[in-house]
Structure 1
Amino acid sequence: MGTGTQRSFTGASWEKQVGYCRAIRRGDLVWVTGTVSLDDDGQPFAVGDPEGQARRCLDIIAKALAEVGASMSDVVRTRMFVTDIDHWEAFGRAHGDVFRDHPPATTMVEISRFIGPQFLIEIEADACVEAG
C-alpha cells in the first residue's frame, strides 16, 4: 500500500481474480468500483427486484466508504449502469432516499448485460472528504 492510500475489500472472488478493490482512497478523494447486489455470502441479492438491488448496492458502497473514512454525504458523483432503463423510477427511488439531502452528480445508462444475468444494476461512486 502506497503512502496515503487506503483500500477496502469485500472479499468477493472477483476482486482477486480481476485485481481490484471495492474502494480506494488517496488523500481526500475516494473511488468506489462498480458494485452489484450481493448478499454477505457473495450470492445475488434481491433477484428480480430493481429497487431492492439498488438499495443493496448503496449499502455495500456505504460500508466501503466507511472503511476508508468517508460517508455517503461525501459522495460527489454516482454512475448507475442498468439492464432495463424502464426501471429508472425504482432505481431512482433508492438513490433518492440515500442522497436526497446531499445530491451528487449522477448518470444512469442502460447497458446490454452484466457478468451475472441476475444483476439489474451496478453502481459506482466517487467521493471527496472535506478536511476536518
Structure 2
Amino acid sequence: MKSTVKMSLGSLLLVSSFSVLSHQSDDIEYLNSGKVIPTTLPFSEAVRVDDTVYLSGQIGILPGTLKLVAGGLEAESRQTMDNIKMSLNAHGFTMSDIVKCTVMMTDISQWETFNNVYKTYFTGKYPARSAFGSTGLALGANIEVECIAAVD
C-alpha cells in the first residue's frame, strides 16, 4: 500500500511538473519585428513573459541595419530612444509602459547630453533607471539602453 501511495504521489508530481513546464514555455513570447534590428542576429528584439516585456539593449543604429547614425552621442541617444519606441510600438506597447531602463555609456561624463535627449521621450513619469560607464559597446556605439516594460 505504501509503495502504491508513493508511486501515485510520484506520478502526480511528475505530471504536475510537466504541466508547469509546459505552461511556463507558453507564457514566453519572442518578439522580432525586423523593423529595428535585423532578424539574423542571435538574440530577440524583445521577450514577453506574462505581463513583462524585456527589451534587448538598443544602440543608435539606423532601423533595420547595423549602421550607427552619424553625429556623435546626441544623435546616437536620439536614435537609440527612437529605436526603443519603434520596438515597443511594433508590438503594441508604448514608452509609458517602460518601468526600468539600464543605460551604458562609453563616456559617463557626457551624462547630461544623454539626459537632455532621454527626458523628451517621457511625460514626467520617468521609469526607474540605473547607469554605468563601459569601455566598449557593440559596433563602437557611445550609448546603449536596455528597458523593461510592464504591459497588459
TM-score (norm 2): 0.73
CA distance in 2, matches of 1:5, 1:59: 25
CA distance in 2, matches of 1:26, 1:51: 32
C-alpha spacing 1:83/1:39, structure 2 compared with 1 (3 Å): same
Q: Report what 1:46 is aligned to.
A: 70
Considering only CA atoms, is the larger Rg found in Structure 1 or Structure 2?
Answer: 2
Q: Report what 1:108 is aligned to.
A: 131
Higher RCO by CA contacts (8 Å cutoff, separation 6 or greater):
1
The C-alpha deviation readout for 1:53-109, integer Å capped at 9, x for no partner, is 111111111111122221100100001100001110111111111124220000121
Alignment gaps of 5+ in structure 1: none
Q: In proportion to residue count, which structure has more helix?
A: 2
Find runs of 4+ consecutive structure 1 residues off by over 6 angstroms: none
**Cα pair 1:25 1:68 within 8 Å, conserved:** no
CA distance in 2, matches of 1:40, 1:78: 20
CA distance in 2, matches of 1:37, 1:8: 20
Selected match of 1:87 from 110, 125, 149: 110
Query: Which is worse superposed, 50-59 or 79-88?
Result: 50-59
How big is the shift at 1:52? 1.5
For these two proteins, the number of residue pairs brought into alignment is: 125
CA distance in 1, matches of 2:88, 2:77: 16
Q: Report what 2:148 is aligned to.
A: 126
